[in-house]
Amino acid sequence: MTTKQRAYLKSLAMTMDSIFQIGKSSLTPEITEAVSDALEARELIKINVLKNCLDDPKSIAQVLAERTRSEVVQVIGRKIVLYRESKEKKHIILPPDKKSEECK
């Protein structure tokens, strides 16, 4: 993902509300599966890590990204933004990557 694409996704995420909250039980298989399903439906999601969660939001973001095969767009404070292109319902069209255009 290029910095231009990441900036575009950050701008989209600014107006979004968090759809998941991760609490003291941290990452459970159920949360991971629900996040994966939400990424397939929405492509871009925001997650809130509650104060009673003892894990670091950045490490939670990395683990979630690995488990759901998504990309961490940003982690600000206790908010995580993840992106994964949908296989069936593509809503978000990323700005083109200049490097891939030059290769054509």
Fold of 3-85: Translation Initiation Factor IF3 (3.30.110)
The per-residue DSSP string of the chain comes to --HHHHHHHHHHHTTPPP-EEE-TT-S-HHHHHHHHHHHHHHSEEEEEE-TT--S-HHHHHHHHHHHHT-EEEEEETTEEEEE---SS-----PPPPHHHHHH-
User: Is the full-model pTM beyond 0.75?
Assistant: yes
pLDDT tens figures, 4-36 = 989 999 999 999 999 999 988 888 899 999 999
How large is the average pLDDT for residues 63-80? 94
Which of the two residues, 87 and 98, has the higher pLDDT score?
87
Q: How confident is the model at residue 38 (pLDDT cuts 50, 70, 90)?
A: very high
